[in-house]
């Protein structure tokens, strides 16, 4: 297989098992993100790929060559992988040029080729004018660009990013997010990116591997994870959602599931994840706030769900209004247009197509409190 293959990777630190037998592939030219909360094993996995950490079992291969295996451990400097760290890790006493040229000089690349490659890498990250500056004379964003130039200058097989934007302020983070993806796409470099920031993962990745407690919770494209979460953890980690509990009544021949909520209300949902699930089974329902319409004419589609409710509160945030509506004794979050008239206490009708209402049998359903709407409550927003 071309690209990176991680198989049954297990990593233990004393009696802590940080990674519990995960497997995944990274196809050539793709940017794959390991996403998850603190302590879920992302960095440990990345460090194993880099060769900085030894696995207890499992294997890591690139283009069918085993790099880490039962009797094999190719050292980091022999893997042709480069890493960009959160801390930039550039040498302050060296010029930008020397920082980027370092690995080429170690490899005894000739002077002219070194100059050409360093200048090209600095041009790619937008620092062509900065080659004589020292590390201490650069902003955080510029230092991270140097780190990226240093990582790409030797044309590695794989680029590894360990939370590279975490130390930057929000606007710089957004700018560098765009730049890094553009560089990765332009060079066609295969990349593995670690972050706990779902927005970063969603906007940058071809593929997201969502991790939790050392295992893979769900894997797929950003839109797969957003539109079709398979657990309440995935639904709430990637984006804002309304989650409620219900029971399956039936899935009709067109694939629409009829559910009964905790207050006896009927909810129509997509039956995509309910094949083979017995009627009466407890399911979790996830509905994104922007998939709930308040104007029947504008909401289009089938509008299987029509619920009457009362506006509890509305927060104007410029681009839209975040509002909470009491429906069947639950507080449901919606996203409405800034023009919407959503005075607290006013009656309102909500519409949602079954196709946008995701239902799944959740690992955590048994621990969920009845009539609970999680994740979208204002104090958690």
Ligand X SMILES: Nc1ncnc2c1ncn2[C@@H]1O[C@H](COP(=O)(O)OP(=O)(O)OP(=O)(O)O)[C@@H](O)[C@H]1O
Identity of the residue, 147 or 342, whose beta carbon is nearer to ligand X in the bound complex: 147
Q: 107-116 burial, b if ≥16 CB within 10 A, otherwise e? A: eebeeeebee
Cβ of residue 190: shortest distance to ligand X, in angstroms? Answer: 20
Cβ of residue 200: shortest distance to ligand X, in angstroms? Answer: 12
Cβ of residue 191: shortest distance to ligand X, in angstroms? Answer: 17
**Per rule CB under 6 A, count of chain residues that contact ligand X:** 12
Name residue, tokens 């964003």. Answer: 141
Cβ of residue 104: shortest distance to ligand X, in angstroms? Answer: 30
Identity of the residue, 200 or 322, whose beta carbon is nearer to ligand X in the bound complex: 200
The answer to whether 350 touches 309, Cβ cutoff 8 Å, is: yes
Among positions 311-330, residues that touch ligand X (CB under 6 A) are none
Binder to ligand X among 13, 155, 203, 255 (CB under 6 A)?
13
For β-strands 215-220 and 305-316, DSSP reports them as unpaired
Q: Show the site string, 90-109: x = touches ligand X by CB under 6 A, - = not.
A: --------------------
Among positions 121-150, residues that touch ligand X (CB under 6 A) are none
Among positions 360-379, residues that touch ligand X (CB under 6 A) are none
For β-strands 158-162 and 81-85, DSSP reports them as parallel
Name residue, tokens 């559910």. Answer: 259
Cβ of residue 18: shortest distance to ligand X, in angstroms? Answer: 3
Binder to ligand X among 1, 8, 16, 221 (CB under 6 A)?
16
Dihedral angle computed from the Cα positions of residues 232, 235, 240 and 243, in that order, rounded to the nearest 10 degrees:
-40
In 3D, which of 282, 286, 271 has the Cα closest to residue 373? 286
Identity of the residue, 42 or 173, whose beta carbon is nearer to ligand X in the bound complex: 42
Cβ of residue 41: shortest distance to ligand X, in angstroms? Answer: 4
Q: Name the E strands within the chain.
A: 4-13, 16-26, 31-35, 57-62, 65-69, 72-73, 81-85, 158-162, 190-195, 207-212, 215-220, 242-251, 256-261, 266-270, 282-287, 305-316, 321-327, 330-336, 347-352, 357-360
**95/42 Cα distance (integer angstroms):** 32
For position 15 contacting ligand X by CB under 6 A, the verdict is no
List the structure tokens of 52: 């900085």
Among positions 170-229, residues that touch ligand X (CB under 6 A) are 196
The answer to whether 140 touches 168, Cβ cutoff 8 Å, is: yes
Cβ of residue 86: shortest distance to ligand X, in angstroms? Answer: 9
For position 18 contacting ligand X by CB under 6 A, the verdict is yes
Identity of the residue, 42 or 150, whose beta carbon is nearer to ligand X in the bound complex: 42
Q: Which stretch binds ligand X (CB under 6 A): 10-18, 24-32, 139-147, 302-310?
A: 10-18
Cβ of residue 24: shortest distance to ligand X, in angstroms? Answer: 15
Identity of the residue, 18 or 257, whose beta carbon is nearer to ligand X in the bound complex: 18
The answer to whether 165 touches 204, Cβ cutoff 8 Å, is: no
Cβ of residue 46: shortest distance to ligand X, in angstroms? Answer: 8
- Find how far residue 194's CA is from the centre of its chain: 9
Q: Show the site string, 28-67: x = touches ligand X by CB under 6 A, - = not.
A: --------x-xxxxxxx-----------------------
List the structure tokens of 70: 């039962």
List the structure tokens of 194: 């670690």
**250/354 Cα distance (integer angstroms):** 13
Per CB under 6 A, residues contacting ligand X are: 13, 16, 18, 36, 38-44, 196
């Amino acid at each position: 297989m071309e690209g990176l293959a991680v198989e049954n990777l297990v990593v233990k630190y004393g009696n802590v098992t940080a990674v519990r037998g995960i497997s995944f592939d990274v196809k050539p030219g793709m940017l794959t993100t390991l996403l998850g909360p603190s302590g879920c094993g992302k960095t440990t996995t990345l460090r194993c790929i880099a060769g900085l950490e030894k696995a207890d079992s499992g294997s890591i291969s690139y283009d069918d060559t085993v790099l880490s295996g039962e009797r094999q451990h190719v050292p980091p400097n022999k893997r042709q992988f480069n890493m960009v760290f959160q801390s930039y890790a550039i040498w302050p006493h060296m010029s930008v040029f020397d920082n980027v040229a370092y690995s080429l000089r170690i490899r005894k690349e000739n002077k002219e080729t070194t100059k050409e490659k360093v200048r090209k890498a600095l041009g790619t990250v937008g620092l062509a004018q900065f080659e004589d500056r020292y590390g201490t004379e650069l902003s955080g964003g510029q230092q991270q660009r140097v780190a990226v130039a240093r990582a790409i200058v030797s044309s590695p097989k794989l680029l590894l990013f360990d939370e590279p934007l975490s130390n930057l302020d929000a606007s710089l983070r957004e700018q560098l997010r765009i730049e890094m993806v553009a560089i990765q796409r332009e060079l066609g470099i295969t990349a593995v990116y670690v972050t706990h920031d779902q927005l970063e993962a969603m906007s940058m990745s071809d593929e997201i591997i969502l991790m939790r407690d050392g295992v893979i919770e769900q894997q797929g494209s950003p839109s797969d994870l957003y539109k079709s979460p398979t657990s309440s953890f995935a639904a709430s980690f990637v984006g804002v959602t309304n989650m409620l509990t219900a029971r399956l009544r039936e899935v009709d021949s067109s694939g629409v599931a009829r559910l009964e909520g905790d207050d006896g209300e009927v909810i129509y949902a997509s039956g995509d994840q309910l094949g083979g699930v017995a009627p009466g089974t407890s399911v979790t329902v996830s509905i994104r706030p922007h998939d709930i319409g308040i104007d029947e004419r504008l909401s289009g589609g089938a509008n299987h769900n029509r619920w009457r409710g009362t506006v509890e509160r509305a927060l104007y945030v410029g681009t839209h209004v975040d509002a909470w509506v009491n429906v069947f004794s639950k507080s449901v979050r919606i996203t409405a247009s800034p023009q919407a008239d959503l005075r607290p206490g006013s009656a309102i009708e909500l519409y949602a197509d079954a196709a946008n209402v995701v239902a799944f049998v959740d690992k955590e359903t048994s621990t969920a409190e009845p009539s609970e709407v999680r994740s979208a409550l204002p104090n958690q927003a």
